[in-house]
Structure 1
Amino acid sequence: MGSFLARLSKKNPSIGAQLATNPRLSQTTGQFFNESGKAISLPRQFSEELANQWWSVSQAL
């Protein structure tokens, strides 16, 4: 579980805060952003299994 949670850590948390509070992105869903705040494609290392794990963790919050 530790390695899973490590994947959720951010290199630049201020970008995350900016993205979360940007009114222009209020209707944006399903997008991934890099450390610079630019939209990127989903990396291949993410799988449906990992997505299901993330979903389970988010439901527990």
Structure 2
Amino acid sequence: MKFEHRDVTFDVHQQTDKKWEWIVYPKAEKGTRFSGTSPTEAEANKAACKGIDERLEK
């Protein structure tokens, strides 16, 4: 599923029953793609948003 946070697009999709992957696609001038995994969809959404916030605040 695609989402946006602070004008940055990210995907969250289920890999297994207990593993969700999130992938962030920053705009070209804001850096390269980054990703991670979380145990639930809600935690994956939060982790992606936190990663976006951390990168934008540098």
TM norm. shorter chain > 0.5: no
Name which structure has the greater RCO, CA cutoff 8 Å, separation 6+: 2
**TM-score normalized by the length of structure 1:** 0.27
Structure with the higher helix share, 1 or 2: 1
